[in-house]
Amino acid sequence: MRVLFLMIKENTNGNRTAKWLMIGPPLLFLLIFFVVPSLIMIVTSLRYPGEFGGLAPIITPAGKVSDGYGLTLEAYQFLLSNSLYAEIFLKSFGVAAVTTLICLIMSYPLALLITRSEKRFRNLMVLLVVLPLASNFLVRIYAWMIILGPESPLSHLINTILSVLGVAPLTLLFSPFAVLVGMVYVHLPFMVLPLYTNLEKHDPVLLDAAQDLGATSWQRFWKVTWPLSLPGVFAGSALVFIPVLGMFAIPEMLGGTGDILIGNLIKDQFLGTRDWPFGSALSIILTLAVLSIAGLTAWFTRQSGGMKYAE
Amino acid sequence: MSFQNFYVTMFVAILSFSIPFNTSGSDQEENTNSIARKENILYLFNWNHYIAPGTVKRFERSCNCKLSQNYYSDNEEMLAKLAAGATGYDLIVPTGNAVDSLIRQGALKPLNKSLLSNFKNINPTHLNTKFDPGNIYSVPYAYTLTLLGFNQEKMHDLGLPTDTWAIIFEPRYLEKIKGRVTVLDSQRELMAAALRYLSYSANDTNEEHWNQAKERIIRAKPYWAAFSNTSYIRELAVGNLWVAHGYSNDMFQAALDAKRTGRKFTINYSTPKEGGVLALDSIVVHKSGVRTDLAHQFINFMLDGRNSAELTNLIGSGNPNMDAMKFIQPDIIRNNAVFPDKDSLAKLEMLQDFDRNQRRLLSRLWTEIKLR
Amino acid sequence: MRNRNFRLRIVATLVYAFLYIPLVIVVAYSFNNSRLNAEWVGFTLFWYETLFNNKEMLVAARNSLIIALSASILATALGTMAGLAIHRYKLKVLPIIVLSPVATPEILLGVSLLLFFLQVLNLTLGMISIIIAHTTFCIGFVAIIVRSRLQGMDWSIFEAARDLGASPWQCFHLITLPLIMPAVVAGALMSFTLSIDDFVITFFTKGVGEPILPIQIYTMIKTAVTPEVNAISTLLMLLTLAMIIIATKLDSGVLRGEVSR
C-alpha cells in the first residue's frame, strides 16, 4: 500500500495512476480468468465433438481419415439448420422479460417502503429480502413443489373457486405458471437490492420541493422518483433478465412437458449429448444476444434522454 | 469500519464452527499424521448414497486408510469432468456405456485379477459384457432396471394394466390418468422405452424407427405431467403421481417411503413385458489414480458378499454377487423387479453409446419432442 | 404521504409473504418426524441429530462458507473497482468484459474454467480454483450494482476535495467509498449467497479432496430429499442471520450510506 501511495504522490496529478489502479485489477483478473477461458470455448465451438465425448483433436491423428478433425462451422450450421433453436431462443427471452417485469412490479414498492422506513428498521428489512438466498436453492424449489402440488391447500383453494365459477380444475405444478413462480422467487432479491441502493440516495428535498409546487403524490412519483431511479431499474433488470436466460433447474423441476428453455438446451449439450461444440455455439450466441440487448438499451436511453435526470 | 466488522464476525463464526472438528479425537490423530494421511487416502468418484455408511467404516478400519468420496448424480457429469482432464480419482463407478467410453478413451487401468480373490463371487451372467469383454477393466458393482412404478390400488380401481409400456404411450389408457404420469427426463431412456414398445431394440439406430418412436412420444406427451428424473420418488409416495417411468432403486425407495409413512396405498413396480433397460454399474480404476493398491483392496472388499449385500439392503439395487444372496433380505430377493428371472432378464438390454452424428440427431429429435 | 405508505406497506407485506412461505415449509419440515414430509406428523430433532453425526456434511458446510466468504471479498473488491472504473472512465471494453461473465451460462463458465485450469495453468483443483471461479461470475453482479449507485451522484463534492489537495486515495477512502457503501454491501451479500448456492460451476472446478455443500445436497436430492437437507438449510439461514445481525449491530449504518469509524 505504501508503494501505491508513493506512486500516486510522484504523479503530479495522480490521475493516470489512479485510473489504472482502479481499472487494472478487475480488468487483469477477468482477462485471465474469463477472457482466456472464453477464447478456449470460442475455439471449442469451431471443433468437432469427440467420438466418446469431449472434443476431437484439431490435428488429424496418424492413420485416420481427416473427416471429423480440424476446425469447422458445423455447430453453427446445425444451429441454423432448424427453426427449433430460434424458437427456443425467442421463448426464453420472453420468459426472461416477463420474469423481469413481475420482479420489478413486486420489488419497487418494497424498495420504496424500505427507504421510507425509519432508519433503524432499514437494515433488517433489507436483510429479510436477502436471507432466503442463504438456504439452499434446490430446497427452496422443493418447497414450491409442495406448495403447488395437486393435493396442497393452495391447489384445493384455487380449484374450489374455479369449480364454483364452472371452470375446469387447474394443475399448478408442472406448468409454465410454476416455472414463472420459481423464476420470480429465486431472482426477486436481485431486483430489490439495486433498487433499494438507488432509491436510498435520493434527496427527500426534491420530493418536498415538488410537493410545495403542488404536485400530487402520483405526479411526484412519475416526475421525480421514477426518472431518478432508472439506473437502479436497469441494474436490477439486468441482474434478473440475464441469469434467468441461463437457468435450467427451475424448468426441469417445476416445468411441465413443454417447458424447455435455452438454459436446458445448453445443459443438455454438455451433460447429455456430449456435444461441446454445439453447446459452446449456443452459449456464444446467447451471450452475444444479451450483450447487444444491453448495448441497445444503453444507446436507446442515451438517445431518448431517458437518463438526463440521472446523469 | 462496518464492512470489515461484517467479515471479521463471519470469520470468527467459521473458526468457532470448525473447532468441533479439530477437537474430536480421531481428527487430532489424523492431523498429527497428516503426511501419513495424505498417502493413505483412496479417492472414489461415486453416485451419492451408493455405498452403505457402515461398509465405508469397516473398509477404512480394514485398510487403515481413508475413503474420500466425490459425488456425481449422472454419468454424463462424471464423463464431462473427466473429458476436460480432471485427475486424482482412484476409482469410479460408471454405468456400462460410460465404461465403454472410458475404455475407448484409454482412461482406465487394467485390473490385476490376482489381487481380487473374491472375483469368483460375481455371477457369470454379468461378466463378459459387450463393453468390457473378459472384464479387463471393470468389476460389476450393482445394477438397476428402468421400469414402471405405480400406485397399486389406483391402477386396480381404474382397471389399468401395469405390465406394459402401453400405459405411458397409449392415449386410451392415459386419459384415465392424465396429469398423474411422469417419464424420465433422459433422451436415451425414454427413446429406449418407446423403441421397446414398438418391438425395436433400445439401441436401434434406424432413423425411421426413431421417428416412429418420436411420434409415439409426442402423441402421449399431452397426458404426462412432466419429465422427471428425481421428484417422482416423492410424488409417487405422497400420492400425487400414479404412474412413473423410472429406476428400480428409486421405486424401491418410493415403496419404502409409502409404507413407512402409513400411506393408504402401496407403490409397486414391474418390468414391462416388452422388455426394458438394465444399467450395470461397475467399479473401474482410473489411470490418474495413485493408489492402485488401495483401489484393488477396495474392489476385493466390495466383492465380499456381506459388504455387497449391504448396498442392496439399503437401496434395493440389483446385485451381481452370488455370495451376497445369503445376506440380502428375502423379500428383496423375491422381487422380480430387482432380481429379474431368466425370462425377464433375456428381454433387458444395456444401453450402448451412439456416435457423434447419431447423438446430434437424437438431440434434435429430443428438442423437438420437448418443444412440440 | 401516510396514505401512500399504507398502500406500499400492503404490497410489501405480500412480497415478504411470498418470500417467506416456502421458507416456513423448509424450516417446519426440518422438525417433522417423517422422512417423506407429506404432512405434519410430529416434532422431532432427529434430523439435526443425524446432521451433527454426519461429519462430511459439516465439513462441506464449513468449506462452502470459507469459499463463499473469500469469493465474496475478492469479488466485492474487484467488482467495486470495476463499477467505479466504468462510471469514471468511459472505457468501452470494460463494461463488455464485466457484463459477459454474468451473461455466460453457468455450464459454459464451469467447463471453460475447468479446461483453462487443467490444460493452460496446469493447476491442481481445490478450494482456490473454486474461489477463483466464483469470483469470476460474482464481479459482474457487484459492478452492476455499484455502477447504478454511482449514476446521478453529485461529483462536485469529489472535485472540491481534489481542489483542496486530497490525493485520489484520500478521495476514494473519505468520499467515494462511504457514498457507495450500501451498494458495496449489497454486492457482497449477493456474491456470498450466489457462491454458497452454486452447484454447476462448483462441480466442474472442485478437486478430489474436499466436500462442498451444494454438491452434497444436489447429489443427495437426486436420490430423494431427506429432511436432513432442510435442517442444514435452516442452520445456514440462522448462521447467516446471526452473523449479519452481529455485524450490523457493530455498525448500524452499513446499508444506509453512513459510515462510522
pLDDT tens figures, B127-159: 999 999 999 999 999 999 999 999 999 999 999
Residue A108 pLDDT exceeds 90: yes
Confidence of residue A309 (pLDDT cuts 50, 70, 90): very low
User: What torsion, rounded to 10 degrees, do the Cα atoms A278, A283, A288, A292 define?
Assistant: 130
Give the residue numbers spanning the domain of A153: 82-304
Three-class SS of chain A = CHHHHHHHHHCCCCHHHHHHHHHHHHHHHHHHHHHHHHHHHHHHHCCCECECECECCCCCCCCCCCCCCCCCCHHHHHHHCCHHHHHHHHHHHHHHHHHHHHHHHHHHHHHHHHHHCCHHHHHHHHHHHHHHHHCCHHHHHHHHHHHHCCCCHHHHHHHHHHHHCCCCCCCCCCCHHHHHHHHHHHHHHHHHHHHHHHHCCCCHHHHHHHHHCCCCHHHHHHHHHHHHHHHHHHHHHHHHHHHHHHCCHHHHHHCCCCCCCHHHHHHHHHCCCCCHHHHHHHHHHHHHHHHHHHHHHHHHHHHHCCCCCCC
Q: Rounded to 5 degrees, what are φ and ψ at A285?
A: -60, -40
Interface with A, mutate which of C98, C151, C239, C250 (most A CBs under 10 A): C151
User: Does residue B364 sit in helix, strand or coil?
Assistant: helix
Cβ pair B257:C35 closer than 8 A = yes
Å between B79 CA and nearest CA of chain C: 11
Give me the mean pLDDT over the A6-13 stretch.
45
pLDDT number for residue B7: 58
Residue A8 pLDDT exceeds 50: no
Distance CA A292, CA A305 (A): 19
Higher pLDDT, A27 or C40: A27
Distance CA B242, CA B258 (A): 13
Neighbours of chain A (3+ CB pairs under 8 A): B, C
Among the partner-chain residues C25, C109, C221, the one whose CB lies closest to the CB of A146 is: C25
Alpha helix ranges (H) inside chain C = 2-30, 46-53, 55-88, 93-103, 106-115, 127-150, 156-163, 168-171, 177-197, 200-205, 213-221, 227-250
Q: Which burial class, exposed, middle or buried, applies to C153 when counting CB atoms under 10 A from its CB (0-12, 13-18, 19+)?
A: middle
Q: Which burial class, exposed, middle or buried, applies to B34 when counting CB atoms under 10 A from its CB (0-12, 13-18, 19+)?
A: exposed
Distance CA B38, CA C81 (A): 40
What nine digits make up the cell of B221? 406427451
Q: Mark residue C82 as left, alpha or beta (left: phi above 0; alpha: psi -120 to 50; beta: remaining).
A: alpha
Element (H, E) at B91: strand B91-92
Among the partner-chain residues C34, C115, C242, the one whose CB lies closest to the CB of B84 is: C115
Confidence of residue B24 (pLDDT cuts 50, 70, 90): very low
Task: Please state the CATH superfamily assignment of the domain spanning residues B2-141+280-339 in this structure.
Answer: Periplasmic binding protein-like II (3.40.190.10)
For residue B109, list its beta bridge partners.
B285
Cβ pair C41:B261 closer than 8 A = yes
| Residue entry with cell 417423517 | C34
Percent of chain A with pLDDT over 70: 92
Whether A77 is covered by a domain: the verdict is no
Cβ pair B6:C188 closer than 8 A = yes
**Are the C-beta atoms of residues C36 and B234 closer than 8 Å to each other?**
yes
Whether A41 is covered by a domain: the verdict is no
Surface of A (32-61) touching B: CB under 8 A? 48-55
Å between B172 CA and nearest CA of chain C: 31
Å between A99 CA and nearest CA of chain C: 15
Cβ pair C38:B238 closer than 8 A = yes
Tell me, rounded to whole angstroms, the distance of Cα B64 from its chain centroid: 29
Element (H, E) at B108: strand B108-109
Cβ pair B257:C221 closer than 8 A = no
Pairing verdict, β B138-151 and B91-92: unpaired
Q: How many CB atoms lie within 10 A of CB A81?
A: 11
Which chain B residues contact residue C247 at CB under 8 A? 2, 5-7, 9-10
**Are the C-beta atoms of residues A78 and B108 closer than 8 Å to each other?**
no
pLDDT number for residue A311: 36
Mean predicted lDDT score pLDDT of chain B:
89
Give me the mean pLDDT over the C134-150 stretch.
92
Amino acid (one-letter) located at A5: F
How many Å from the N-terminal Cα to the C-terminal Cα in chain C? 34
The alpha carbon dihedral of C121, B47, B65, B33 has a sign of positive
Distance CA A106, CA A112 (A): 11
Å between C25 CA and nearest CA of chain A: 6
Interface with C, mutate which of B2, B230, B317 (most C CBs under 10 A): B2
Cα angle value B44/B46/B50 (rounded, 5°)? 120
Percent of chain C with pLDDT over 70: 90
pLDDT tens figures, A169-223: 788 889 999 999 999 999 999 999 999 988 888 877 777 787 788 778 788 888 8
Q: How many Cα atoms occupy the beta-carbon half-sphere of A16 within 13 Å?
A: 4
Cβ pair B227:A257 closer than 8 A = yes
Confidence of residue B89 (pLDDT cuts 50, 70, 90): very high
Residue B275 pLDDT exceeds 70: yes
**Are the C-beta atoms of residues A60 and A69 closer than 8 Å to each other?**
yes
Å between C151 CA and nearest CA of chain B: 22
Three-class SS of B156-180 = HHHCCCCCCCHHHHCHHHHCCCCCC
Interface with C, mutate which of B10, B78, B241, B251 (most C CBs under 10 A): B10
Element (H, E) at B357: helix B356-371
Q: Which of A214-228, B91-105, C188-202 has the lowest mean pLDDT?
A: A214-228
Cβ pair C208:B234 closer than 8 A = no
Distance CA B135, CA B127 (A): 7
Cβ pair C189:A193 closer than 8 A = yes
Q: Which burial class, exposed, middle or buried, applies to B292 when counting CB atoms under 10 A from its CB (0-12, 13-18, 19+)?
A: middle
Q: How far is CA B230 from CA A174, B253, C228, in A?
A: 14, 11, 17
Give me the mean pLDDT over the C192-197 stretch.
90
Work out the angle between the directed axes of helices B248-260 and B305-315 (0-180°, nearest 10). 60
Which residues are CB-contacts of C261 (< 8 A; sequence separation ≥ 6)? B1
Give me the count of residues in chain C: 261
Distance CA C217, CA C230 (A): 10
Cβ pair C219:B47 closer than 8 A = yes
Q: How far is CA C134 from CA A6, A71, A250, A297, C201, in A?
A: 33, 31, 21, 28, 8
Domain boundaries, chain B: 2-141+280-339, 144-278+349-371
For residue B95, list its beta bridge partners.
B281
The alpha carbon dihedral of B127, B133, B138, B142 has a sign of negative
Q: How many CB atoms lie within 10 A of CB C117?
A: 26
Cβ pair A147:C25 closer than 8 A = yes
Q: Rounded to 5 degrees, what are φ and ψ at B354?
A: -90, 160
User: Does residue B327 sit in helix, strand or coil?
Assistant: helix
Count contacts between B and C (CB, < 8 Å).
145
Look up residue C121 and give its DSSP letter. I
Amino acid (one-letter) located at B219: R
Residue B13 pLDDT exceeds 80: no
Q: How far is CA B137 from CA B59, B237, C141, in A?
A: 22, 39, 47
Cα angle value B67/B72/B78 (rounded, 5°)? 105
CATH of B144-278+349-371 among 3.40.50.10160, 3.40.190.10, 3.60.10.10, 3.40.50.720: 3.40.190.10
Cβ pair B235:A149 closer than 8 A = yes
Tell me, rounded to whole angstroms, the distance of Cα C114 from its chain centroid: 22
Q: What's the number of domains chain A is made of?
A: 1
Residue C155 pLDDT exceeds 80: no
Task: Please state the CATH superfamily assignment of the domain spanning residues C57-210 in this structure.
Answer: MetI-like (1.10.3720.10)
pLDDT number for residue C255: 56
Q: Which of A277-281, B288-292, C123-127, C168-172 has the lowest mean pLDDT?
A: C168-172
Whether A89 is covered by a domain: the verdict is yes
For residue B285, list its beta bridge partners.
B91, B109
Distance CA A196, CA A113 (A): 9
Whether A283 is covered by a domain: the verdict is yes
Q: How far is CA B33 from CA B294, C63, C207, C255, in A?
A: 18, 21, 22, 46
Q: Which residues of B touch A (CB under 8 A)?
A: 74, 76-77, 79-80, 83-84, 100-101, 104-105, 179, 185-187, 221-222, 224-227, 229, 231, 235, 238-240, 353, 355-356, 359-360, 362-364, 366-368, 370-372
Cβ pair A48:B362 closer than 8 A = no
Distance CA B267, CA B255 (A): 5
Residue A39 pLDDT exceeds 90: yes
Confidence of residue C219 (pLDDT cuts 50, 70, 90): confident
Residue B26 pLDDT exceeds 50: no
pLDDT tens figures, B160-196: 999 999 999 999 999 999 999 999 999 999 999 999 9
pLDDT number for residue B349: 94
What nine digits make up the cell of A72? 469447422
Mean predicted lDDT score pLDDT of chain A:
85
pTM score of the predicted model: 0.90
Which residues are CB-contacts of B23 (< 8 A; sequence separation ≥ 6)? none
Which chain C residues contact residue B49 at CB under 8 A? 219-220, 223
Q: Which burial class, exposed, middle or buried, applies to A119 when counting CB atoms under 10 A from its CB (0-12, 13-18, 19+)?
A: exposed
